[in-house]
């Protein structure tokens, strides 16, 4: 079963039990399909698009093809989020003040960025590291006076690096809580 995704959630989201999904995937030979093929099969079996992805990832984890945090290309990604008091711009300004103008993060040099951009509903901070990984900080309004800051770190080459960065980003977000 996928980490963080229960059999009950799968049944609620897809209208089918986890056992029914396993039987279906076995009947169509999903273990020999690539990720997109399994997603297509899940869609044919009636899964809505987002749930097709989720049940596919759960199945790939079930058969040992994918580890928690691992993407279909074999890389790993981690995320950390925090809801903070303040407006979209206030939370984004606090994030930018916390990270400053870094040339490295956790001892890994930044090769591109950090760059920022904004839309009406989002604020973004992005950079690429020398190890080829990418960091994206996103701020969105969650409720009046509250914003959600989400850090996504992608293209990590091992699960261990994912755990290192997860801890790093949680600690960084904790500093915003304290500030």
CB neighbour list of residue 97: distance below 8 Å, 6 or more residues apart: none
User: Do 87 and 56 share a structural domain?
Assistant: no
DSSP structural state of residue 30: G
User: Do 92 and 155 share a structural domain?
Assistant: yes
d(CA 76, CA 4): 16
* Structural contact between residues 79 and 163, judged by C-beta atoms closer than 8 angstroms: no
User: Do 81 and 57 share a structural domain?
Assistant: no
pLDDT at residue 113, as a whole number: 95
Whether 140 is in a domain gets the answer yes
pLDDT at residue 70, as a whole number: 75
pLDDT at residue 4, as a whole number: 52
β-strands 108-118, 122-129 pairing: antiparallel
User: Do 173 and 104 share a structural domain?
Assistant: yes
Q: Which domain holds residue 90?
A: 76-178
pLDDT at residue 179, as a whole number: 53
User: Do 169 and 107 share a structural domain?
Assistant: yes
* pTM of this prediction exceeds 0.85: no
User: Do 173 and 91 share a structural domain?
Assistant: yes
User: Do 134 and 93 share a structural domain?
Assistant: yes
User: Do 102 and 47 share a structural domain?
Assistant: no
pLDDT averaged per 10 residues in sequence order, the chain, 179 residues: 70 93 96 94 93 90 81 82 95 96 95 96 97 96 94 89 92 82
d(CA 8, CA 6): 5
d(CA 6, CA 142): 25
pLDDT at residue 2, as a whole number: 45
């Amino acid at each position: 079963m996928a980490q963080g995704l229960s059999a009950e959630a799968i049944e609620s989201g897809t209208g089918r039990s986890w056992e029914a999904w396993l039987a279906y995937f076995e009947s169509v030979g999903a273990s020999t399909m690539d990720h997109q093929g399994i997603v297509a099969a899940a869609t044919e079996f009636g899964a809505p698009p987002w749930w097709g992805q989720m049940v596919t990832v759960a199945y790939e984890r079930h058969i040992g093809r994918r580890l928690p945090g691992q993407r279909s290309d074999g890389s790993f990604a981690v995320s950390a989020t925090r809801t903070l008091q303040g407006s979209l711009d206030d939370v984004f300004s606090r994030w930018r003040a916390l990270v400053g103008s870094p040339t490295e993060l956790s001892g890994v040099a930044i090769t591109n960025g950090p760059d920022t951009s904004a839309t009406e509903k989002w604020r973004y901070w992005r950079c690429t590291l020398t190890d080829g990984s990418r960091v994206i900080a996103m701020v969105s309004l969650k409720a009046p006076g509250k914003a959600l800051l989400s850090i996504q770190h992608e293209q990590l080459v091992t699960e261990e690096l994912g755990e290192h960065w997860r801890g790093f980003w949680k600690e960084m977000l904790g500093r915003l809580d304290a500030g």
